[in-house]
């Protein structure tokens, strides 16, 4: 069964076609990197997968459960609110901007959603949160407030926070783009570790070395379409499409 199955996703903003028929299947434990120029629809696609955006046409299935699909009448049929919430709870997302709660400590940031959304008891979630903090190398920041953390530390807290919901799938939207170059390594290391534990991951990134070394598959998106995809060694050494070549020449 696919963890994510997207078929022919179309999305317009007013008259602008931003996604022009994106189809993508991701298997359990796969790490897929999406690269492509700014404005090509990468963020919009990720946001459609956990219904932060509606779609205009296509089908989205998460672990076999239908989130949205175009019916025979041409209209989009969405899962009910309760179903969608249930489905999307299995998807963790990490954004470019960390979006931590400023008035909560690191630990409180991590346990907030499990407490509120899942109704987990503090006694159960605190040890798990502490374990996640150890995993991202921030055990000693447990009681700090986000304002006292570096960007790289904030992003690692954001990763731990997403993991605290026990997701089956993690989406990352340029998680290191807002960071000073010397801080990207620690975030990529946490992501690499997650990949080694066989988390299913879809990562929009400008970090070509990360895509090359960690991803099982690299996808090049341009202008609302998937232009080319393949295993990283093939993708980077012999891209087939002129637009992929031009992009790689610019960024490598």
User: Which chain residues interact with ligand ADP by CB under 6 A?
Assistant: 13, 18, 36, 38-44
Q: Is 198 helix (H, G, I), strand (E, B) or coil?
A: coil
Residues 6 or more apart in contact with residue 203 via CB below 8 angstroms = 31, 32, 33, 34, 171, 172, 175, 191, 210, 211, 215
Beta carbon nearer to Mg ion, 172 or 235: 172
| Residue found by looking up tokens 């459960």 in the block | 65
Q: What are phi and psi of 146, to 5 degrees?
A: -50, -35
Q: Which stretch binds Mg ion (CB under 5 A): 3-11, 35-43, 48-56, 74-82?
A: 35-43
Of 24-32, 39-47, 207-215, 226-234, which segment contacts Mg ion by CB under 5 A? Answer: 39-47
CB of residue 94 to Mg ion, shortest distance in Å: 13
Binding-site size for Mg ion (CB under 5 A) equals 1
50 touches, from ligand ADP, Mg ion, none (C-beta below 5 to 8 Å by class):
none
Tell me whether residue 40 or residue 244 sits nearer to ligand ADP (CB atom): 40
Residue 64 touches which of Mg ion, ligand ADP, none (Cβ within 5-8 Å per kind): none
Q: With CB cut-offs between 5 and 8 Å by kind, which of Mg ion, ligand ADP, none does residue 39 bind?
A: ligand ADP
Q: What share of the chain is helix, strand, coil (3-state, %, to 5)?
A: 40, 30, 30
Q: Residue 91: which of Mg ion, ligand ADP, none does it interact with, CB under 5 to 8 A by kind?
A: none
Cα separations in angstroms, 28 against 31, 64, 195: 9, 12, 11
Minimum CB separation from ligand ADP for residue 179, in Å?
Answer: 17
Nearer to Mg ion, 79 or 203 (CB): 203
- 3-state DSSP call for residue 220? strand
- Residue 217 CB, shortest distance to ligand ADP, in Å, is 18
Q: Which is nearer to ligand ADP, 46 or 169 (CB)?
A: 46
Q: In this structure, are strands 200-204 and 169-173 parallel, antiparallel, or unpaired?
A: parallel
Written as six digits, the tokens of 19 are 């996604």
- Least distance between ligand ADP and beta carbon 145 (Å): 30
Q: From ligand ADP, Mg ion, none, which one binds at residue 41 (CB under 5 to 8 Å depending on kind)? A: ligand ADP
Selection from 208, 158, 213 nearest residue 187 by Cα: 158
Residue 18 binding target from ligand ADP, Mg ion, none, CB below 5 to 8 Å by type? ligand ADP
Q: Which of 212, 196, 205, 215 is nearest to 135 (CA)?
A: 196
CA distances from 87 to 10, 37, 62, 158 (A): 21, 30, 7, 21
43 binds Mg ion (CB under 5 A): yes
Site for Mg ion, rule CB under 5 A: 43
């Amino acid at each position: 069964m696919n963890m994510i199955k997207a078929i022919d996703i179309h999305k317009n903003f007013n008259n602008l076609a931003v996604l022009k028929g994106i189809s993508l299947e991701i298997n359990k434990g796969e790490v897929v990197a999406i690269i492509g120029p700014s404005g090509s629809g990468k963020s919009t696609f990720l946001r459609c997968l956990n219904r932060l955006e509606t779609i205009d046409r296509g089908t989205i299935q998460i672990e076999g459960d239908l989130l949205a699909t175009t019916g025979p009448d041409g209209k989009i049929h969405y899962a009910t609110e309760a179903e969608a919430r249930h489905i999307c709870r299995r998807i963790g997302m990490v954004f470019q901007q960390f979006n931590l709660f400023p008035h909560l400590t690191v630990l409180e940031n991590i346990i907030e959603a499990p407490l509120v959304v899942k109704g987990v008891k503090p006694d159960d979630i605190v040890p798990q949160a502490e374990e996640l903090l150890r995993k991202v190398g921030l055990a000693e920041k447990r009681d700090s407030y986000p304002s006292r953390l570096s960007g790289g530390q904030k992003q690692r807290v954001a990763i731990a926070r997403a993991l605290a919901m026990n997701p089956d799938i993690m989406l990352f939207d340029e998680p290191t783009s807002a960071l000073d170059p010397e801080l990207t390594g620690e975030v990529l290391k946490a992501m690499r570790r997650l990949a080694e534990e066989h988390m299913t991951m879809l990562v929009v990134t400008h970090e070509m070395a990360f895509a090359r070394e960690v991803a099982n598959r690299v996808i090049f998106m341009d202008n609302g379409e998937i232009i080319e995809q393949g295993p990283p060694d093939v993708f980077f050494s012999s891209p087939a499409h002129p637009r992929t070549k031009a992009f790689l020449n610019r960024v490598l």
